[in-house]
Amino acid sequence: MGRLFETWNLKGLEIKNRICVPPMVCFGWNGDDGMATEKSVNHYRAIAKGGYGLVIQEATCISRQGRLSGDQLGIWEDAQIPGLKKIVDAVHAEGTPIFVQIHHAGVISSEEDRVCPSDYTVSHKDVEKHGRELTVEEIKALEEDYIQAVRRAYEAGYDGVELHGCHSYMLSQFMNRRVNKRTDEYNADDMLILKNILEGIRKVVPEEFIVGIRLGAFEPTVEDGIAHAKWLEAHGIDFINVSYGFSQDADPITPDGYPFAAAVYGGKCIKEAVSVPVFAVYGIQNGEMAEAALEDTKCDMINIGRGVLVNYDWANDVKEGKDPGKCLYCAKCLWRNQVEVCAGKVLLERNR
Ligand SMILES: Cc1cc2nc3c(=O)[nH]c(=O)nc-3n(C[C@H](O)[C@H](O)[C@H](O)COP(=O)(O)O)c2cc1C
């Protein structure tokens, strides 16, 4: 008997198993105002019925300037709270807890005026993007945007938040010394932006509110990822969801013959180094793999991303011993553009 369907507890929050739905943006589902639409509410309701221990809502932006695309969900103004609350209520109605991922894209933003800790140019999805260096006043305003976004998340009823600190976005840019070349107090080693954000958050939400981070294991090396995780633990972070860091400037590694992706290995290394709960991710395609990854990494949760997009009922199906189906890694994701022709979905339906 494995650990996948074990109940556990994250800072007082009862979690019915070790399967987490990681944040996944549904591009094109919301408007320029960042307000949650019925389509988003229904999507999260359907996921919540699928039997997961925890759902983390997609990257939700702290400002217009921080958007990766102009149709992302927003948490930058109080008027967005009621729409977000509809998502929370729909997920809670199924007895599932929900966190929201708090996001700013930094140099990868789709807006004209892109910012970064230091002047930096990145190639993202074949588009060259340049970010100008943030001034100290702008960093202070950015910190406040993160803090107020977390306050809104609390008011909307989420069980917790996950700061987006990986995948090349703003906090990843601050932590990666190959990107953040600042020589003032906001240099990569000092982690000052995270210190100020975490301290500010605790002034606007109660101590019991769960505040975690999605962290790059390789930022740029695994030694840096471990150091960041230890720093975050020492500064009160409640969980660490480990993934890839700033992809253009990172050195992912795995030992020879390691059976899982580098991000899973990163999760294992960070789990060994800290005592707070750690989540692992990447490329887990069925229940056996999920059990094996939990066993190998000793992590507290395993994320199932694309598997859930293919099959909302992934966790229930695995529990009942059914084939949950899998993402077929199409060169161009069909799910994103036309859900009903998603190859993994079509194959799953054909096999049933
Ligand atoms: C459509 C899509 C959207 C995603 N959006 C986000 C996001 O908003 N935030 C984030 O941290 N990761 C995002 N990711 C990455 C996933 O959370 C996950 O780490 C990745 O899909 C690997 O897990 P998997 O192999 O189980 O799919 C996204 C992935 C996909 C496929």
Ligand 1 atom closest to residue 336's alpha carbon, by position in its atom list = 1
**Residue ID of nearest Cα to ligand 1 atom 29:** 24
- 245: tokens are 């860091």
23 C-alpha to ligand 1 centroid (Å): 6
Cα 73–Cα 75–Cα 78 angle in degrees, nearest 5: 130
If one residue of 25, 164, 168 were mutated to test the ligand 1 pocket, choosing by the most ligand atoms within 8 A of its CB, it would be: 25
What does the alpha-carbon distance between residue 344 and residue 278 come to, in Å, rounded to a whole number?
A: 29
Global pTM reads 0.98
Q: Which CATH superfamily is domain 8-327 in?
A: Aldolase class I (3.20.20.70)
- φ, ψ of residue 240 to 5 degrees: the values are -130, 115
Q: What is the pLDDT of residues 20-74, one digit of tens each?
A: 999 999 988 999 999 999 999 999 999 999 999 999 999 999 999 999 999 999 9
- Cis geometry, peptide bond prior to residue 220 (ω within 30 degrees of 0): yes
One-letter-per-residue 3-state SS of 214-275: EEECCCCCHHHHHHHHHHHHHCCCCCEEEECCCHHHCCCCCCCCCCCCHHHHHHHHHHHHCC
Q: For residues 305-321, give the mean pLDDT.
A: 98
Pocket residues: Cβ below 6 A from ligand 1: 22-25, 58-59, 101, 164, 167, 214, 243, 281-284, 303-307, 336
**Domain chopping of the chain, boundaries:** 8-327
Does residue 1 carry a pLDDT above 80?
no
pLDDT > 90 in the chain, percent: 94
Confidence of residue 281 (pLDDT cuts 50, 70, 90): very high
Average pLDDT value for residue range 170-186: 98
The rounded distance, in Å, linking the Cα atoms of 104 and 169 is 6
Q: How far is the CA of 185 from the centre of ligand 1 (A)?
A: 32
Closest ligand 1 atom to Cα of 59: 8
